[in-house]
Amino acid sequence: MKPIYPLPIQNEFVFNSSARDFIVEEIPLYPFAGEGEHLVLKVRKKELTTWEMLDILSQYAGIKRKDIGYAGLKDKHAMTIQYISLPIKFKEKLASFSHEKIKILEIMRHNNKIRVGHLKGNRFNIRLKKVLGVQKDKLDSVLKWIKANGVPNYFGNQRFGTDGTNWMDGKKLLSGELKIRDPKTREFLMGSYQSYLFNLWLAKRMELNLLLEKFSETEVEQLLKLSSGALKGVKTQPNFFKLVEGDLMMHYPYGRLFEAEEPNKEAERFKDKDIAPTGLLPGIKTKRASGVAQIFEEQFDEEIKIFGARRYAWIQVTEIEKNYVEEKAHYELSFVLPKGSYATNVLDVLRGTNQI
Residues noted as catalytic = 75
CA–chain centroid gap for 320, Å, is: 17
Give me the count of residues in the chain.
356
Which residues share a beta bridge with 335? 124
Q: Tell me the three state secondary structure of residue 83.
A: strand
Beta strand ranges found along the chain (DSSP E): 22-28, 38-46, 69-70, 79-87, 102-110, 119-128, 151-152, 248-251, 257-259, 275-281, 309-312, 314-315, 318-325, 330-338
Q: Please provide the DSSP assignment of 101-120 as one string.
A: TEEEEEEEEESS---TT-EE
Residue 155's nearest CA partner among 16, 56, 279, 21 is 279
* Closest by CA position to 84, among listed 50, 47, 48: 50
* Alpha helices (runs of H) in 215-253, residue ranges in sequence order: 217-223
